[in-house]
Chains A and B, each alone.
Chain A
Amino acid sequence: MTMTTPEGAVLTVDEAPGEDFRPGSVGLVGRGFVWVGLGVALLLPMLTVDFAQACSLAAIYAIVGLSLNIVVGYTGQLSLGHQGFLGLGALTAANIVFKLKVPFYIGIVGGIAAATVAAVVLGLVALRITGLYLSLITLVFGTAIASSLFSLGSLTRNGSGVPANRPDAVSTNARYYLLCLLVMLVIFYLDTRLTASKTGRALLAIKENERVAEAFGIGVTSYKLLAFGLSGAIAGLAGGLFAFRSQTYAAQDFTETGLSLALLFVVMVVVGGLGNRVGVVIAAAFFALLNYLLDKLFISWHAFRHLVEHVPVLNGYYGPNKGALAGLIGAVLLLQTLIFNPGGIGESVAPIQRWLKGKRFSLHDDSASAGPGAVEGSSVRA
């Protein structure tokens, strides 16, 4: 077989050009101030009990977002079953700790292992076939596991839920939030390492053009499988944290909201910006807190409440239908992002990000390498 000319698929990874620009003392102080401010803002939720609990969920969703981002953003595949991995992680972690009386962290590791195995098995079947079969398989997996394993009497204490007691060190909501935040930051850092590694470059090449990547000797299927397995592992980790956050494994968390949870994860990743870590984390936090914020809005803010009662359209979403309102916001943001703003939140905040890293503030990226996500807008078709 002859090598085909890799027309239009030049696999260059630009090194950031050695920039002369260094921020002056005012700039340094300004940047330092913002960094510290960000840090303080992240710790603020620890002061309250219920907001800390909501923010733990935000951190957990951010982990799921980073996990799904590896599949959708880096490999260009679609998973509609990530709630399955999350649930599997939660189920396993809670059951191991409750039944075998092992420490918390072993439960978490067990959850990771279970989700990884599930992801690898699904990936082995689906990723051999070209196209977007993974989206179908994961969708079927998500619904099947929700109606079977998650509801199995022996694993749910006949539906009454498996207790998941936090260890003493993180027993309060505030401390548990701190744990979730730290885990999220570690995953974030590992993800940075991943995209900078050989594996990251291979994934980028595969997403650009599978055939060309293959011609360069990249094992397309094994790299996709590696990425999907990794994604499953991270989702399983998030699942373990999820169970101990609510301090019980309850099947309803994954069965009743099943598909809509899976779709919400997709919304997070797309709205955040495919392949863009910072954007995905921001979007995940936003959607995790959306219902909490809407609750506050509807209950605490009387002016809004009056408005809602008297405007027919808003009226439809009042009360029991808050979930639908969140759904509407998600759907509109998703379609808006896809059609008008493919870079997502990540692209919008990129100038601030660069400034914080000590570069000049500019709306255009001078150093062209922005990780695998930067290829989304390219003309490659699957």
Chain B
Amino acid sequence: MTLAATTLAAGAAPLALDVQLKIGQPFVVGLLQGSVYGLIGLGLVLLYKSNRIFNFAQAEFGTVAGISAYLGLNGKLFHIPWHMPYAVACIIGVAIGTLTAVLTERLVVRPLFDRPKVILVVGTVGVLLLLIALESLVFPEGKSLPAFNNPKQGVFRSLTDPAARLGFAHYNLQWEQILTLVTLVVLALATVAFFRYSRNGTAILAVSQEPVAAQTVGISVSRISLITWTLAGFLGSVAGILVLAGSAVVSPGVVTGTTLVGGITAAVLGGVTSLPGAFVGGLLVGLLQAYAGTFLTQFPGSESVAVGVVLLLVLLVRPQGLLGREA
């Protein structure tokens, strides 16, 4: 009886429901995940533009930020918890993640500046390994960072309770996801605007296009490098907090594990030097993964294989990337 009733009720709009579950839901999920990839990709592109290297520690700045935020929230001073507000903890997390990038520039990138590029890239691998090892020291077990709308600590606890879903048909969408998406889009637009309209942004482009000429007009290449790493660290840290808040378990190396490959693919799809390209690339990778995960469930690892295959194809057909243009 109940079964029949359910079937009857669902039968009213079986197609629409199926479309929502198989087309709509992955779209939303993919967009969210993809914008995180885009943000990691933006940071990678930024550093590629200024230093002509790939920074394999990019996503790990995010883990540092997430772990710092967690410690800020749950830290104790002489065994007394200090009850830091959630937003403050997140800001501190981002600050520490950004500081990590600045230190990376000063202590590792600067001394290796004039060496072959492959050495510089291996240097970023070293930073990644060092960060993971140090994270294990201060944060040995997997703990999770509360969601933004966590009833006890979340920043939006007055706005909505954690179980609340937005009433978009059957989509499983929460306020924090909207916040994530908005933050990511705003940051991406701000980064692009920074390059188009600000003095330092133009200088970064100048250094990346003609380092010698940039020096002859009086731009300090080392100062520009520091600015770039600061920005990249900031982007990576924000991405990390957004990834870790609520959804995932915070553990050493977690943001690298979940977003580095996606972010790299995003950057390459966009042409490695194009900022809008990286973000669009990120969205594409996110959507690709979501749909591969929905429709190719019979193959293990279909999400990452789909990404790998598309990456190979794009490099084969358009090595300069989908939006291969310096901007």
A and B touching (C-beta < 8 Å)?
yes
B300 near A382 with CB under 8 A, answer: no
A170 interface residue (CB < 8 Å to B)? no
User: Which chain A residues border B125 with CB–CB below 8 Å?
Assistant: 80, 263, 266-267, 334
Knowing A267-B129, A270-B122, A331-B129 touch, does A144 contact B305 (C-beta < 8 A)? yes
CB interface residues, A 139-187, toward B, < 8 Å: 139-141, 143-144, 146-149, 151-153
Tell me whether B112 and A338 are in contact (CB under 8 A): yes
| Chain B residue with the shortest CB-CB distance to A136 | B264
A321, B304: Cβ atoms under 8 Å?
no
The CA of A328 and the CA of B136, in the complex, are separated in Å by 9
- Chain B stretch 221-270: residues in CB contact (< 8 A) with chain A: 252-253, 256-257, 260-261, 264-265, 268
A293 to B58, CA, bound (A): 32
B190: chain A residues at CB < 8 Å are none
Residues of A within 8 A of B112 (CB): 338-339
Residues of the B chain whose Cβ atoms lie less than 8 Å from the Cβ of A382:
116-118
Which residues, 68 to 96 on B, are CB-close (under 8 Å) to A? none
Report the separation of the CA atoms of residues A328 and B305 in the bound assembly, to the nearest whole angstrom.
31
Contact digits for B45-75, partner A, Cβ 8 Å, 1 yes 0 no: 0000000111010000000000000000000
A78, B122: Cβ atoms closer than 8 Å: yes
A332 to B108 CA separation, bound complex (whole angstroms): 12
B260 contacts which chain A residues (CB < 8 A)?
139
Given the interface pairs A147-B304, A316-B140, the reply to whether A76 lies near B122 with Cβ below 8 Å is no
**Which residue of chain B lies nearest to A377 when distances are taken between CB atoms in the complex?**
B115
The smallest C-beta distance from A294 to any residue of chain B, in angstroms, reads 13
Question: B115 contacts which chain A residues (CB < 8 A)?
Answer: 342, 381
Stretch at the interface among A44-52, A121-129, A211-219, A222-230: A121-129
Compute how far the CA of A316 lies from the CA of B311 in the bound complex, rounded to whole angstroms.
Answer: 40
| Complex: A334 Cα to B130 Cα, angstroms | 9
Chain B residues numbered 268-305 whose CB sits less than 8 Å from any CB in chain A: 268, 299-305
B: interface residue count bin: 35 or more
User: A270-B122, A320-B140, A327-B133 known; A339 and B307 CB under 8 Å?
Assistant: no
A137 at the interface (CB under 8 A from B): yes
Say whether B268 contacts A136, CB under 8 Å. yes
Q: Is the CB of A140 within 8 A of B138?
A: no
Q: Is B114 interfacial (CB-CB < 8 Å)?
A: yes
Nearest-neighbour CB distance to chain B for A380, whole angstroms, equals 6
Report if A132 contacts B (CB, 8 A): yes
| Cβ contact within 8 Å between B53 and A132 | yes
Among candidates B117, B123, B138, B261, residue contacting A143 with C-beta atoms closer than 8 Å: B261
Is B121 at the interface (CB under 8 A from chain A)?
A: yes
| Contact of A136 with B54 in the complex, beta carbons under 8 Å | yes
> A379 in the interface, Cβ–Cβ < 8 Å?
yes
Q: Which one of B155-163, B171-179, B192-200, B312-320 is at the interface?
A: B312-320
Q: Knowing A148-B302, A321-B136, A338-B112 are in contact, say whether A129-B319 is a contact too (CB < 8 A).
A: yes
A298 at the interface (CB under 8 A from B): no
Structural contact, B311 and A137, CB atoms closer than 8 A:
yes
Give 1 or 0 for each of B127-141: 1 = CB within 8 Å of chain A CB.
111101110111010
* Residue pair B130, A137 in contact (C-beta under 8 Å): no
Asked if B151 CB lies within 8 Å of chain A CBs, one says: no
Per-residue CB contact flags for chain B residues 100-114 toward chain A (1 = under 8 Å, else 0) read 000000001001101
In the assembly, what is the distance between CA of A78 and CA of B54, in Å? 11
Residues on the B chain within 8 Å of A146, using CB = 301
Q: Is the CB of A125 within 8 A of B316?
A: yes
**Cα of A146 to Cα of B112 in the assembled complex, Å:** 32
Task: Please determine whether B133 and A139 come into contact, CB atoms closer than 8 angstroms.
Answer: no
Answer whether residue A246 sits at the interface, using C-beta atoms and an 8 A cutoff: no
* Interface residue? B308 (CB, 8 A): yes
Say whether B311 contacts A140, CB under 8 Å.
yes
Is the CB–CB distance between A324 and B137 below 8 Å?
yes
Interchain CA distance A338-B119 in the complex, whole Å: 7
Question: What residue of chain B has the Cβ atom nearest to residue A334's Cβ?
Answer: B126
Query: Chain B's nearest CB lies how many Å from the CB of A334?
Result: 4
A141 and B303 CA atoms in complex are apart in Å by: 13
In the assembled complex, the Cα of A90 lies from the Cα of B233 at a distance in Å of 38
Q: Does A191 contact B (CB under 8 A)?
A: no
> By the criterion CB–CB under 8 Å, are A72 and B118 in contact?
yes
Neighbour of A324 across the interface among B118, B121, B133, CB < 8 A = B133
Q: How far is the CA of A332 from the CA of B38 in the complex (A)?
A: 31
Closest to B310 in A: A140
Give B69 Cβ to nearest chain A Cβ, in Å. Answer: 20
| Residue A286, interface by CB 8 Å | no
Contact B129 A148 (CB under 8 A): no
A98 interfacial by beta-carbon distance below 8 Å: no
* CA of A80 to CA of B124, assembled, Å: 13
| Pairs A–B under 8 Å by Cβ, sample size 18 | A132-B117, A132-B121, A139-B264, A147-B301, A148-B300, A148-B302, A148-B304, A149-B301, A266-B125, A267-B129, A321-B136, A321-B137, A321-B140, A323-B136, A328-B137, A331-B126, A338-B122, A381-B115
Report, nearest first, the 3 A-B pairs whose CB atoms are least far apart.
A147-B301, A324-B136, A148-B301
Given A129-B319, A144-B304, A321-B140, 12 other A-B residues pairs in contact with their CB atoms under 8 A: A125-B315, A132-B54, A140-B261, A147-B301, A260-B253, A263-B128, A316-B136, A316-B140, A317-B137, A331-B129, A342-B115, A376-B119
